[in-house]
Structure 1
Amino acid sequence: MKFPSPLIKGTLIKRYKRFLSDIELDNGDIITAHCANSGSMMGLKEPGYKVWVSPANNPNRKLKYTWELVNTGTAMVGINTSHPNKIVTEAISEGLVPELAGYTNIRNEVKYGKNSRIDVLLQAEDQPDCYVEVKNVTLLREKGVAEFPDAVTARGTKHLLELIDMVEAGHRAVMFYLVQRDDSSQFKIAADIDLAYADALKKARKHGVEVLCYDCKLSADAIEINKPVPLAL
């Protein structure tokens, strides 16, 4: 996924009210940027971190910038949770996810389950439909170990239960964790943060829901899928 406009570099002043961030741009201007991330952003919101923002395409938008990337000093991390679906969809289309190859039709945000929308629906003749739920991963508390979630996610637990329903209906279901950082060599569930989610994932795997995890290559130009990350589940 290439950014449509060059990103602008700055320094984080603070993130607050979940969706707002004050940033000093390298030219000295101080802006308030949209923070498209409802999680805790643990380890990513320290004042003084170098960050990158994108300019808004809509001139009428109240906030003229969106926070996209942060450099923690050890890793580049993508914090915008509106991007993972596009990143994963592009990777599947380009054949970069062998586990999800062979489908001729890719659709996004398709209604399913109990008033939900599946992130990616893969279809092909003579194959069961494949329901792919994508989660953005940014948490890293132990060197090399990416974790999800970074806050309690009742919505995420609901999605796992709905993936189980899809398997029981004869379809294929995949839980896809996209690690938007470049310093992870392993992935695990942060059960100490959300035990209900961890239990739901165990149940989902027992019922046939597959789990995939890939990390990303990140720059001020683009975010692209890189390689599989081993699971410690």
Structure 2
Amino acid sequence: MELLKLDRPEACTIVERLNRFVVEVRVGGKLSLARITNTGRLRDYLVAGRVGYCLPNRGKTNYRLVAVEDLAGAALIDTDLQMKSFEAALRAGALRWAPCEIISRSPRVGSSRLDYLLRCRGTNKYVELKSAVLRDGDFAMYPDCPTLRGRRHISELIGLAEKGIKAMIVFVAALPGVRAFKPYREGDPEVSVLLGKAVELGVEVRAFSIHYDPDASVVVLDREELEVVI
């Protein structure tokens, strides 16, 4: 199922990551800078010589790197597009485990802002999305590095569940050919512990898979629900 159509994507070649937010790329034979929205290490993707896909960008960089070749398609590394894909899937009713509508974005919970407050079959539910773009065979994984922000968000969801408030974390497995999700313990052992606690206390943990199809310039929903192995 097609979720998003990208406007004017250009193939590029990754040269090197310069810092947390900028990658040097080669577009049409010329070196340029591309912004990245994903602050993970992306060690399997930000590799010199890999083919990526960039969108025109306004600001300090000419481009935004949104996807990188993987298997027969591409991994969608851009977190903004991952969120838009989730929203498109919600609107289309493509996620049967999420018969929901968006009440608000970036609701404040404790010292954090989560991604969504949804209304699901008459019940409010706080939802946080996380980007799972690390592969282990058929598994997508998160996180690929220590994440204080990720720990804080999971802790906030646990706090909500302890008060009897509905809470859910959704892992966006944004790479082709995966069938399940699991936490990457080596990336951040504490996240794995917190996820286990979250499940015990009633936080809903879900995952679905998407990828970018460079031939059609679209983001595709692969599997509406992945097995979650905590």
Asked if Structure 1 and Structure 2 have the same fold, meaning a TM-score greater than 0.5 normalized by the shorter chain, the answer is: yes
* SS of match in other structure, 1:36: coil
More strand by share: 2
Q: In structure 2, how many angstroms separate the alpha carbons of the residues matched to 1:97 and 1:190?
A: 24
Q: In structure 1, how many angstroms separate the alpha carbons of the residues matched to 2:170 and 2:154?
A: 11
Match of 1:229 among 215, 226, 230: 226
* SS of match in other structure, 2:15: strand
Match of 1:129 among 124, 132, 138: 124
* SS of match in other structure, 1:129: strand
Give the superposition deviation at 1:5.
1.9
Corresponding residue number in structure 2 for 1:205: 199
CA contact (8 A) 1:85 1:120 kept: no
Matching of residues 86-125 of structure 1 within 5 Å: 86-101=84-99, 103-111=100-108, 113-123=109-119
Q: In structure 1, how many angstroms separate the alpha carbons of the residues matched to 2:134 and 2:116?
A: 23
Which residue identity lines up with residue 53 of structure 1 in the other structure?
Answer: C
Corresponding residue number in structure 2 for 1:32: 33
Corresponding residue number in structure 1 for 2:13: 11
* SS of match in other structure, 2:48: coil
Give the superposition deviation at 1:46.
1.3
Task: State the number of aligned residues.
Answer: 225
Q: In structure 2, how many angstroms separate the alpha carbons of the residues matched to 1:213 and 1:73?
A: 20
* SS of match in other structure, 2:118: strand
Q: In structure 1, how many angstroms separate the alpha carbons of the residues matched to 2:20 and 2:181?
A: 25
* SS of match in other structure, 1:93: helix
Structure 1 vs Structure 2 CA RMSD = 1.8
Match of 2:158 among 124, 139, 164: 164
TM-score normalised by L of structure 1? 0.89
Give the superposition deviation at 1:131.
0.9
CA contact (8 A) 1:35 1:66 kept: yes
Give the superposition deviation at 1:53.
0.4
Displaced runs of 4+ in structure 1, greater than 3 A? Answer: 72-75, 103-106
Residues 170-208 of structure 1: CA distance to partner in whole angstroms, max 9, x if unpaired?
321111000110121221111122111110011111100
Q: Quick one: structure 1 residues 168 and 66, their matched pair in 2 at CA, closer, same or farther if it must change by over 3 Å?
A: same
Q: In structure 2, how many angstroms separate the alpha carbons of the residues matched to 1:4 and 1:67?
A: 12
Q: Quick one: structure 1 residues 77 and 196, their matched pair in 2 at CA, closer, same or farther if it must change by over 3 Å?
A: same
Match of 1:71 among 69, 72, 77: 69
Which residue identity lines up with residue 184 of structure 1 in the other structure?
Answer: V
TM-score normalised by L of structure 2? 0.90
Match of 1:178 among 152, 165, 172: 172
CA contact (8 A) 1:128 1:171 kept: no
Q: In structure 1, how many angstroms separate the alpha carbons of the residues matched to 2:61 and 2:177?
A: 31
Runs of 5+ in structure 1 lacking a partner?
Answer: none
Q: In structure 2, how many angstroms separate the alpha carbons of the residues matched to 1:217 and 1:197?
A: 25
Runs of 5+ in structure 2 lacking a partner?
Answer: none
Residues 110-165 of structure 1: CA distance to partner in whole angstroms, max 9, x if unpaired?
22x2222221211268x33111110011001x321211100111111111111122
CA contact (8 A) 2:54 2:66 kept: yes
Q: Quick one: structure 1 residues 116 and 224, their matched pair in 2 at CA, closer, same or farther if it must change by over 3 Å?
A: farther
State, as a whole percentage, how many aligned pairs show the same letter.
Answer: 23
Which residue identity lines up with residue 153 of structure 1 in the other structure?
Answer: T
Which residue identity lines up with residue 107 of structure 1 in the other structure?
Answer: S
Q: In structure 2, how many angstroms separate the alpha carbons of the residues matched to 1:225 and 1:138?
A: 15
CA contact (8 A) 1:50 1:72 kept: no
